[in-house]
Amino acid sequence: MSNIDTNIPDIEDRFLEPGGWRWHSFTRAGRKIRFGSISPKDSIPDAVIVCLPGLSEFGEKYYEIARRCNQMNLAFWIIDWMGQGGSGRYLKNPQKRHATNFQNDVDDLHYFYTEYIKHSSVHPDVGRIPVAMLGHSMGANIGLHYLKQHPDIFECAAFTAPMIGLKALQNMPMPLALMLSESLNLFIGKNYVKGGGDWSPSMRPFDGPEALSSDTERVKIHTKWFEKKSELKVGHITYGWVHSALMACARLNRKALLNTIETPCLIALAGHEELVDNQKIRRAAESLKSCKLVEFPDARHEILMEKDEIRDEFFKDFHALIKENIIDRPETLKPF
């Protein structure tokens, strides 16, 4: 396949921008946030999917997912978190994946919903179009905090490999991990973690145990876009990001917090998981009031980028969640 635009990677058409895609941005509290959206071309969508990507991800990576949602008659919106994608950066070195507090991301998401999605999710013939959440890893962490703080917006939520805990620290007591990360953040919070640095293709191998997907084409999408659009590039995390992530994870490890979330949830767990703590995911699923946990023994961390047999099974469960809580139950939908 030949491309005229040199900013377009040499990947299959299904991974490229679909017709009708729209990019926009907003600024809140000095934070510039980019977002994208697309709706089914010739029908009123059954629901609006709000996609919350994982660490260092970006909207372009989810074009194929957007197409899949449109085929299911679902509108699709995605946010680039501050510090990655087409959004603003925290530090002079734009590749340092820094953070100050995940609550800022929760607040960005709420602004995104109230100022853009809410007003666009109305149709003169049907009124309010309900919204559902789709979050991956770090995005799932932010999404769970959002459901706790804003319980009356999303009808249901699906999460893949949610970041409830970090696998690298799974054997360290949370109080000790928080104490150490707080000290490192205080003194060298803006530094890359030990061994970290700017982006290089070796950060995301295409095969082997460290690959984030076992699909031979989807595993390359992240790197292919980074190589063609340098403004998307993000390197390793900083100690500041680690501390922010641990604080967010510690909150989600409180059973009392999860018990108050009533939104029906679907959680997918990867059998070959190298980044997040599966034990903590299982405990979180048990603590949520309404949650279905599905495990994919052959999947790696990026379940949404996995082989068709794994992805199709996930989307089957995802559509069942939408059907049960939105399509088949219009009388129970939340008020506008």
Model pLDDT for residues 110-145, shown as the tens digit of each residue: 999 999 999 999 988 888 999 999 999 999 999 999
Asked whether residue 3 is assigned to any structural domain, the reply reads no
d(CA 67, CA 304): 13
Quote the pLDDT of residue 5: 56
Average pLDDT over residues 75-81: 98
Range with lowest mean pLDDT among 79-83, 98-102, 254-258: 254-258
d(CA 169, CA 197): 20
Per-residue confidence at 4, pLDDT binned at 50, 70, 90? very low
Quote the pLDDT of residue 124: 86
Quote the pLDDT of residue 171: 95
Q: Are 15 and 60 contacting, i.e. CB atoms less than 8 angstroms apart?
A: no
How many domains in the chain?
1
Burial status of residue 158 (CB atoms within 10 A of its CB: 0-12, 13-18, 19 or more): buried
pTM value surpassing 0.85: yes
Asked whether residue 38 is assigned to any structural domain, the reply reads yes
Asked whether residue 1 is assigned to any structural domain, the reply reads no
Name the residue type at position 58.
Answer: F
Average pLDDT over residues 56-66: 98
DSSP string, 91-113: SSSTTSB--S-HHHHHHHHHHHI
Burial annotation 258-279 (CB, 10 A radius, 16+ → b, else e): beebebbbbbbbbeebebbbbe
Q: What is the pLDDT of residues 150-183, one digit of tens each?
A: 999 999 999 999 999 999 999 999 999 999 999 9
Q: If you search the block for the tokens 């998307």, which residue do you land on?
A: 232
Asked whether residue 290 is assigned to any structural domain, the reply reads yes
Find the farthest-apart pair of alpha carbons in the chain and give their distance in angstroms, rounded.
57
Q: Is 260 helix (H, G, I), strand (E, B) or coil?
A: coil
Q: Is the pLDDT of residue 298 over 70?
A: yes
Asked whether residue 94 is assigned to any structural domain, the reply reads yes
127-128/291-300 β-pairing: unpaired
Q: Write out the residue range of the structural domain in which residue 17 sits.
A: 13-332
Asked whether residue 5 is assigned to any structural domain, the reply reads no
Q: Are 314 and 203 contacting, i.e. CB atoms less than 8 angstroms apart?
A: no
Asked whether residue 7 is assigned to any structural domain, the reply reads no
Asked whether residue 262 is assigned to any structural domain, the reply reads yes
Q: If you search the block for the tokens 């946010």, which residue do you land on?
A: 79
Residue 230 sits in a domain whose CATH number is 3.40.50.1820
Average pLDDT over residues 303-308: 98
- Number of neighbouring beta carbons within 10 Å of residue 336: 10
Q: Is the pLDDT of residue 249 over 70?
A: yes
